Chain A
Amino acid sequence: LEGLKYANSHEWVKHEGSVATIGITAHAQEHLGEVVFVELPEENTSVSKEKNFGAVESVKATSEILSPISGEVIEVNKKLTESPGLINSSPYEDGWMIKVKPSSPAELESLMGPKEYTKFCEDEDAAH
């Protein structure tokens, strides 16, 4: 999607003012399969770039989710507790995972734009 930035571990970030919203991409949810459980951090905890902040469970597997940026978690999507499938049906909207106050906005510069991420996914799939 335009307006988002992407990590090579398949998370997206939407930066609006002082808040960055984070989730996993359509590519990721498609490869993971039906998400049945989501483990997310508590509010007021911190996340670090490229470090694990939670996990999703799908198809017998737990898969860790890495934060594309560093910052403080200011909101967690509580709807995912009852409806983890929102990650599959609406990965960029209702399936958002956490909202973060970025501590180093410059980290966003190193993330991929939409075209770059699309090519990245195509290359990754083609390699297997």
Chain B
Amino acid sequence: MIVNGFKDLGLPLMNIVKLRGTPILQQLVLEERLLRSSFENWCIINDGTNVPTIVMGMSGKPCELVELEPVVKDGIPVIKRFTGGGTVIVDESTVFVSLICNRDDVPNVQPYPRSVMAWSGSLYSHVFNGISGFQLRENDYVFGDRKFGGNAQSITRNRWIHHTSFLWDYNENNMAYLKLPSRVPQYRLERDHTDFVCRMKDYIERSVFIEKTINAVGTQFLLKELSLDEIDDSRREHLESTRLLTMDELKESLANTSRIKSIAQAV
């Protein structure tokens, strides 16, 4: 339930922004700005993004994480985001939930990854209450041993963001654009993408998930709904690191990979 008006029960304010089909680059750029320049708390929900896009973490290297040849051939956009974590391919069947908080407004959470992750697991346990098998496992949301939500964070001195891409559904062909990463959670064992992940739609209705998420956030914050137009993100004197990799960068990476492979074969 969204409540407007005065502070109730001493709860901190949280702005809720509900998007649908917003390009993931636009969403991530907005989130980075809000994390670095705003002093308010934000919950951003994007119900699907417009085109299939690969999103890597801050330290991601395309040659290690992405099947460059088909990505270049098919013109799949590749983004490097400002948070840590792994690589995902997102599309209209991905639901995004991002929480940007002042550390002082969540005083029982230390501004470190595991503490924020545990808090998020507790929040989503309310959302998935009654659905058997939900848990935060290592750093993923799973049903049983199958991942349906990937998390990433960025922590600054006084604020942090925890954002999640939920696999409402996915296209198996799209998964083929991703390589098996070198760093995987232990519980993954050696499963490939299709054996490791599951579809959230098999467990909960999409609109029910979004409503329950907002309600769960509302147990800790006083909610205020804003539209995208109402967000003041005019302050831009901060680092903006989220970016779309250029096609030239991807082609160069592919060329380098091919060169290294040729040399290795020749030796």
- Give A residues with C-beta under 8 Å from B: 9, 31-33, 36-37, 39, 50, 52, 55, 57-64, 66, 124-125, 127-128
Contact = CB atoms under 8 A, between A and B. Distances in A.
A66 B158 CA distance: 12
A128 B115 contact: yes
Contact of B139 (A37, A57, A60): A60
B115 A61 contact: no
B157 A61 contact: no
B183 interface: yes
A64 B157 contact: yes
Contacts of B84: 37, 57-62
Given A37-B84, A63-B113, A128-B107, 15 more contacts: A31-B114, A33-B112, A36-B59, A52-B157, A55-B58, A57-B59, A59-B84, A59-B113, A59-B117, A59-B139, A60-B57, A62-B82, A62-B83, A128-B110, A128-B115
Nearest to B111: A63
Interface string B120-133: 00000000000000
7 contacts: A31-B110, A33-B114, A36-B183, A60-B84, A62-B153, A127-B107, A128-B115
Given A59-B139, A61-B83, A37 B58 contact: yes
Contact of B59 (A37, A50, A59, A124): A37
B113 A58 contact: yes
A63 B58 CA distance: 11
Contacts of B153: 60-62
Interface string B24-68: 000000000000000000000000000000000111000000000
A31 B160 CA distance: 15
Contacts of A37: 58-59, 84
Contacts of A32: 112-113
Given A52-B239, A128-B108, A60 B115 contact: no
Contacts of A36: 59, 183
Interface in B57-99: 57-59, 82-86
Interface residues of B, number: 28
Interface of B: 57-59, 82-86, 107-110, 112-117, 139, 151-157, 183, 239
Residue of A55, A124, A125 ringed by the most chain B CB atoms within 10 A: A55
Contacts of A63: 112-113, 154-155
Contacts of B239: 52
Given A36-B183, A128-B110, A57 B157 contact: no
Given A36-B183, A37-B59, A58-B84, A66 B157 contact: yes
Residue of A31, A39, A57, A127 ringed by the most chain B CB atoms within 10 A: A57
A32 B155 CA distance: 10
A28 to B, nearest CB: 9
Nearest to B83: A62
Contacts of B139: 59-60
Contact of A60 (B82, B85, B110): B85
Contacts of A59: 84, 113-114, 117, 139
Contacts of B107: 127-128
